[in-house]
Structure 1
Amino acid sequence: MGTLAGKKAFITGAEQGIGKATAQKLIEAGCDVYIHYFSGEEGPKELVALAESRGQKAAYGFADLTNEPAAVQCVSAAAEFLGGIDILVNNVGGIIARKWLGDIDIKFWQTVIDINMTTMLNVTQSALPYLKVADEGASIVNLASLAGRSGGHSGSLVYSMTKGAVLTWTRSLAAELGEHQIRVNAVAPGLILGTRFHNQHTTKESADQTIRDIPLGRAGTPEDVANAICFLASEYDGFISGATIDINGGVYRM
């Protein structure tokens, strides 16, 4: 099993929810971190204070990662602050709204694609030069979703499509970057309460119904996902790549 002590991690969308829990877990595992955020500095400030209390480095920066120059600038700032990038966590994403097929217009279609996929392209492409020269190989972890596996609930058509694409992106990128000793994996969370995503787009009734169908009998937490991301970020003999860990309490089994 590898160690994360002293590793340099860049996490996107880490102001709350899964991203914040992941940044906290990486800090507790010994990483120096750079925290990207899009809305709200409260979470990043807490994470910086945690890192500094442990004698580690942490900083944060704002960027609209759908914009290529902004993404390049944010990644460059992270690499400069950290002295490189060993771990990239592509966490940014969102459903935006629930829209059924007849209600989807081209603007909405493109917005969801940009938030869930273009951000991942912009950030990963910008980080690639730093990942290639990481001392002991590098690790990329992408956030997919159970919706990318199962198709999601009604009204999540475009979101589910993009998360399915993230799964394929992960497999393809693992094949392409393996020669540079860069491992690429994904996590596919199911119902994870305590996140802005479900607070805004999932009703209590819908959540309760979903929980009734989960074999473990509960919803997941951001920490459940953060644990899996930290596992994939670690070296672990360097032979896990192109994989997806499903985090859904057993409701979807492959």
Structure 2
Amino acid sequence: MGSLSGKKVFITGAEQGIGKATAIELIKAGCDIYIHFFSNEEGPKELVSLATSLGQRAAYGYADLTNEDDTKICVLAAAEFLGGVDILVNNVGGIIARKWLGEIDSQFWKTVIDVNMTTMLNVTQSALPYLKQAPDGASVVNLASLAGRSGGHSGSLAYSTTKGAVLAWTRSLAAELGQYGIRVNAVAPGLILGTRFHNQHTTKESADETISAIPLGRAGTAEDVARVIKFLAAEYDGFVSGATIDINGGIYRM
């Protein structure tokens, strides 16, 4: 596994939760980092302060990643600030709302696809020229979900569909970009409490029921996921590509 010291990271949606925990792990590992945010800049400010205190470079910028032009401007700012991009973490995503089949309209369907897939397309396309130029090879890590493996709980049909697509996107992209020394992998978290996702969309009763079936007997944390992302990020010069690592305490095994 390669050293992360001095590596240049662009991460999306690092205001809170898994994105913020991942940024902290990468900063502590010695990375310089550009943090994308959409809704709140308090988290990015804290991350810049942490990096600065450790003698590393960090900055942040806003973008609506469903918008192609907005994305290009943000990624360009990141590449110019960092002097390139070695590691891309596609963290942005969300369930938007729980809607059952009979409740899903075309606008909701499009919104979920845009938030979970169009953002990934726009960011990865925009970052591709810089990833190709990474001198030691590059690493892309995509955020999928256990819902993309198992189908998720009722009301997550649209979300689960897009997260399943992220798994296929990861495999296909690994095949397509391997010739450039770019490795592409994904993580598929299960129940990760303390994030905005579950704070807004998972009841305590539902969480307790899920935890009762988890072999390790607890929910996951954002830090559990961040450590695995850090490993995959460091595989910029390794042999792991096209893989998805499940982080779910053993509730789903394949």
Q: Which stretches of structure 1, 4 residues or more, deviate above 4 A after TM superposition? A: none
Q: CA RMSD in A?
A: 0.7
Q: Measure the CA separation in 2 of the matches of 1:105 and 1:123.
A: 26
Aligned counterpart, 2:162? 162
Judge conservation of contact 1:211–1:218 (CA < 8 Å) in 2. Answer: yes
Deviations 1:164-203 (A, max 9, x none): 0000000000000000000000000000001000000000
Residues 142-153 of structure 1 correspond to what in structure 2 (within 5 A)?
142-153=142-153
Supply the distance in 2 between the matched residues of 1:36 and 1:231 (Cα, whole angstroms): 21
Judge conservation of contact 1:3–1:235 (CA < 8 Å) in 2: no
Alpha-carbon shift at residue 2 of structure 1 (Å):
1.1
Percent identity for Structure 1 against Structure 2: 82
After TM superposition, the structure 1 = structure 2 runs for residues 205-224 of structure 1, keeping only pairs within 5 Å, are 205-224=205-224
State the partner residue of 1:117: 117
2:100 corresponding residue in structure 1: 100
Q: CA deviation at 1:237?
A: 5.0
Q: How does 1:48-197 map to 2 (within 5 A)?
A: 48-197=48-197
Unmatched tracts of structure 2, length 5 or more: none
Q: For residue 201 of structure 1, what is the amino acid of its counterpart? A: H
Cα drift, residue 92 of structure 1: 0.2
Deviations 1:5-46 (A, max 9, x none): 000000000000000000000000000000000111110000
Q: What CA distance in whole angstroms lies between the structure 1 residues aligned with 2:135 and 2:49? A: 27
Give the CA deviation at 1:117.
0.1
Against the structure 1 CA distance between its residues 63 and 208, is the aligned structure 2 distance closer, same or farther, given a 3 Å change threshold?
same
Following superposition, the deviation at residue 236 of structure 1 comes to 7.1
Residue 235 of structure 1, CA deviation? 2.8
Say if 1:4 and 1:29, in contact at 8 Å, map to a contact too. yes
Q: Matches of 2:237 and 2:102 in 1, distance apart?
A: 49
Give the 3-state SS of the residue equivalent to 1:88 in structure 2: strand
Contact 2:90 2:142 in 1 (8 A): yes
For the residue of structure 2 that corresponds to 1:234, the secondary structure is: helix
1:131 and 1:137 in contact (8 A); partners too: yes
CA distance in 2, matches of 1:213, 1:38: 35
Hey, what's the Cα distance between the residues in 2 that align with 1:80 and 1:191? 36
Instruction: Write the distance in 2 (CA, Å) between the matches of 1:58 and 1:23.
Output: 10
Q: How does 1:5-84 map to 2 (within 5 A)?
A: 5-84=5-84
* Distance in 2 between residues matched to 1:12 and 1:235, nearest whole Å: 19
**Unmatched tracts of structure 1, length 5 or more:** none
Q: Distance in 2 between matches of 1:188 and 1:148?
A: 8
- Distance in 1 separating the partners of 2:237 and 2:121: 27
Q: Give the CA deviation at 1:238.
A: 1.3
Q: Distance in 1 between matches of 2:121 and 2:235?
A: 23
